[in-house]
Amino acid sequence: MTETSFQRYHDRKAPTLYALIDLIIPGCLLYIIHTIIGLTGWGRAYTTMAILSGIFFFLATAIQRGYSRYNERSISKKLEITFKTWFINVLFLLVITYFYLATLKFDRLIMSSWVILTPLFVITLKSLISYFNRKLSKAKINVLILGNHYSFNEFELNMLKSQNIQLSYIKILEAERVKQKTLESSPDYLLLNLEKPASSDLIKELTHLDVDGIKLIALHNFMEVFLRKCYIPYDKKDLSYLEKIRSYSLSDYILKRIIDWLVVLLLGAISIPIILFSMYKIKKESPGKLFFCQSRVGLKGKNFMAIKFRSMHENAKFNPYTQKEDPRIYPYGNFMRKARIDELPQLWNVVKGDMHLLGPRTEWDILVENYEKEIPYYHERHLVRPGISGWAQVLYPYGANTEDSRQKLMYDLYYIKHWSIWLEIEALIRTVGVVLGKKGL
């Protein structure tokens, strides 16, 4: 087998730059903050703190496998590693300061600003490095697909292409030929996309390939890692799928509600002028009711009344799906939809506990009935409360048919399965990007 040329596993540029950032940036930022707001000179206390912070940050990140060549490149993973390691770093520094550096004096404003700004600065730099490294790299992730059980759609192919993933295909022939062709291709991954259960001979050859260093990856794992969605089998036979998705734990739910309230208070305060202006524009362009209320399906399949600004003319022709250039939508209503302003009244639903800020999209109960007949496991999304925005909304285009709803469900189930405060923060960041018109942030 020839050595793979894929730089993700051999090129240490990005991990090396990450390490340099962790070693240098804390001390440099402390010096900059001290220069801007410090009232006394830079002394031994700050020099000691600058050196120790860089060393501890580097070591703590290494312990968290933050420099691994196989490390996931998602925003949420970077957030998790950076903030966890910085928290550990600050604890170490507090202990050392208490026992060994008690005689040294530090300005509280300088140190507080430094503790808050350092992880934000570090995560920004690492994200930029990751972005440009992917953008400028000519190397490809070579994925050899064995079988044709699932066909990637155009949107998925574009997402994979943006990650420098190059797909090639191999048919399931004789087991020996599968091994031979795989070794000749020397892929970074062999994606198992089998139409039917593997034969004992094929399993034996795949085992040999695994031992020979070929990274085997099942379809559902590939989609979760690279497309960040949970694969939904079309054949409805995989009942083990039902045990893979669970609702939030009590601690997760409490944390999520805290985030809901914090964002609702902030967003509600700054959006009052927008709400008042929207009420004026709705009355002017499409006289009638200001709000649109509709029965939506929420937690455990129970209905509630969701409230939004009315973006369509009253008594418009019924169609459960919104089309591009929909004539039912008046001009400002179209703007509200693009800017997500029509969703602002749903902050009241969040306050009441009908919804979360982030979660699966609220769906009309009539549509849910149809989806449950056609899409396996659709009811699983009702394990949690719906959200104003969500993982599917920020990663997948606006849906207009049942297949789009199936695709969005895959993203919703990923969000439920992998929920963490870090994924929540990433979803918030992506939501802001979508509102500002930068889809695919």
Whether residue 200 is contained in a domain is answered as yes
CB atoms < 10 A from the CB of 270, how many? Answer: 9
Specify whether 98 is located in the same domain as 114.
Answer: yes
Specify whether 124 is located in the same domain as 150.
Answer: no
Whether residue 232 is contained in a domain is answered as no
Give φ, ψ of 116 to 5 degrees.
-75, -45
Q: DSSP characters for 98-141?
A: HHT-TTS---HHHHHHHHHHHHHHHHHHHHHHHHHHHHH----E
Specify whether 23 is located in the same domain as 119.
Answer: yes
Whether residue 256 is contained in a domain is answered as yes
d(CA 4, CA 23): 31
Structure tokens at 243: 């045990």
Specify whether 349 is located in the same domain as 428.
Answer: yes
Helix (H, G, I), strand (E, B) or coil at 168: strand
Q: Which of 338, 329, 403 is nearest to 371 (CA)?
A: 403
Domain count for the chain, please give it.
Answer: 3
Note down the domain range covering 345: 250-435
Q: DSSP characters for 231-275?
A: ---TTS--GGGGGT--PPPHHHHHHHHHHHHHHHHHHHHHTHHHH
Give the pLDDT score at 272: 92
Specify whether 155 is located in the same domain as 106.
Answer: no
Of 192, 227, 262, which residue is a domain's last?
227
Q: Which of 341, 356, 362, 358 is nearest to 426 (CA)?
A: 358
Specify whether 108 is located in the same domain as 158.
Answer: no
Whether residue 401 is contained in a domain is answered as yes
- Its pTM stands at 0.85
pLDDT tens, position by position, 399-418: 667 888 889 999 999 999 99
Specify whether 265 is located in the same domain as 407.
Answer: yes
pLDDT tens, position by position, 67-100: 875 545 688 888 998 998 999 888 888 888 777 6
Specify whether 203 is located in the same domain as 283.
Answer: no
For the domain that residue 180 is a member of, what is the CATH number? Answer: 3.40.50.2300
Whether residue 408 is contained in a domain is answered as yes
d(CA 438, CA 441): 6
Whether residue 220 is contained in a domain is answered as yes
More confident residue, 163 or 216: 216
- Tell me the average pLDDT across 28-55: 89
Whether residue 2 is contained in a domain is answered as no
Of 186, 212, 227, which residue is a domain's last?
227
Specify whether 40 is located in the same domain as 183.
Answer: no
* Residue type at position 152: F
Whether residue 329 is contained in a domain is answered as yes
Specify whether 296 is located in the same domain as 380.
Answer: yes
Specify whether 53 is located in the same domain as 162.
Answer: no
Give the pLDDT score at 1: 38
pLDDT tens, position by position, 262-305: 999 999 899 999 999 999 999 998 888 999 888 899 999 999 99
Of 185, 212, 227, which residue is a domain's last?
227
Specify whether 222 is located in the same domain as 159.
Answer: yes
